[in-house]
Amino acid sequence: MSDWPLEDRGVAYGDGLFETVLVRDGTPLLWEQHLARLARGCRVLGMPLPAREHLEAPLVEAGAGLSVLKLILTRGSGGRGYALPETLEPRLRWRLDPFAPSAQRWRHGVRVRHCRLRLGIQPLLAGLKHLNRLENVLARAEWTNADTAEGLLCDAEGRLVEATCMNLFWQRDGVLETPRLDRCGVAGTLRVTLLERAPIREVDAAPETLERVEALWLGNSLQGLWPVARLDDAEGNPLRHWRVGPSHRPLQALAHEALGYPAITP
């Protein structure tokens, strides 16, 4: 696909939205959930949602096997400064790339750490996959060792929110929980799906909560669900280890069913 014009509001202001979609043999997974989030983002930003046929057009170019479709929708060009253009002509661009999930992490789990960065609280934009992602970039830059898979983020008031590009789930006293996302964070499509299919409570929780949970997972619609085997503090020192095993598998199996990934046996 072609480039972005110099004056596009996507680069000038991050004035737009994106979706990253797992595609198997030309079929997009969790597609209704992706479309619903994009539609909600368009309502909040005051942009028209492109016709479904335009959003689905790239799929004809996906070959056999797994690929990842990245859709970026910006408000287009125009407007004086931050003011909206009188006539909105959003700009849709996409790319398709081959994809392979980190399958060994499904079985053995991952090492994660707390990030120092605190997410700003902005309820207007909470849950949306918009193009203002500098916080995620800066949080991801907090570590460079390859054996740390993700970083966990709290909001400015110290509540757990998400990981830099995944949502967070845990089991505490036998109950499945995930952070509420009404102040900041991205409401992942896999999270939406798991909330529909499993009894998961949306809660406010402090980061110390995680040191007392029976099981912890990270997940998104590309990678599926990773059990967490080790949690580090923001300096990389261990806070807690978990034995990855049977207690991690039922929720993982639900997630993987939705994505066409295999269920892992203990």
For the bound state, the minimum distance from the C-beta of residue 13 to a second copy, rounded and expressed in Å, comes to 4
For the bound state, the minimum distance from the C-beta of residue 14 to a second copy, rounded and expressed in Å, comes to 3
- Please give the backbone phi and psi of residue 262, each rounded to the nearest 5 degrees, phi first: -70, 150
Count of residues that bind a second copy according to CB under 8 A: 53
Window 6-45: contact mask with a second copy (x via CB under 8 A): xxxxxxxxxxx-x-------------------------xx
Q: Nearer Cβ to a second copy, position 133 or 240?
A: 133
Report whether 5 contacts 75 (CB < 8 A).
no
Q: Nearer Cβ to a second copy, position 114 or 248?
A: 114
Q: Which of 19, 74, 150, 162 is catalytic?
A: 162
- Indicate the Cα dihedral angle 180, 181, 182, 186, nearest 10°: -170
Q: What is the sign, positive or negative, of the torsion defined by CA atoms of 48, 53, 56, 58?
A: negative
190 lies in the site for a second copy, by CB under 8 A: no
243 lies in the site for a second copy, by CB under 8 A: no
Count Cβ atoms below 10 Å from residue 116 Cβ, excluding itself: 14
Is 129 catalytic? The answer is yes
Angle, to 10 degrees, between the axis of helix 249-259 and the axis of helix 189-197?
120
Report whether 112 contacts 152 (CB < 8 A).
yes
224 lies in the site for a second copy, by CB under 8 A: no
Alpha-carbon gap, residue 229 to 178, rounded angstroms: 18
Q: Which of 19, 74, 129, 150 is catalytic?
A: 129
87 lies in the site for a second copy, by CB under 8 A: no
- End-to-end Cα distance, the chain: 43
Q: Nearer Cβ to a second copy, position 118 or 240?
A: 118
92 lies in the site for a second copy, by CB under 8 A: no
Q: Which of 3, 53, 147, 173 binds a second copy (CB under 8 A)?
A: 3
Q: Residue 69, CB half-sphere, CA atoms under 13 Å: how many?
A: 28
For the bound state, the minimum distance from the C-beta of residue 263 to a second copy, rounded and expressed in Å, comes to 26
Is 70 catalytic? The answer is no
Q: Residue 19, CB half-sphere, CA atoms under 13 Å: how many?
A: 26
Q: Nearer Cβ to a second copy, position 156 or 263?
A: 156
Q: Which of 20, 74, 164, 193 is catalytic?
A: 20
Alpha-carbon gap, residue 228 to 213, rounded angstroms: 11
Q: Given the rule CB under 8 A, which residues bind a second copy?
A: 1-16, 18, 44-46, 72, 74-75, 81-84, 93, 95, 117-122, 124-125, 130-141, 156, 164-165, 184
Catalytic residues: 20, 129, 162
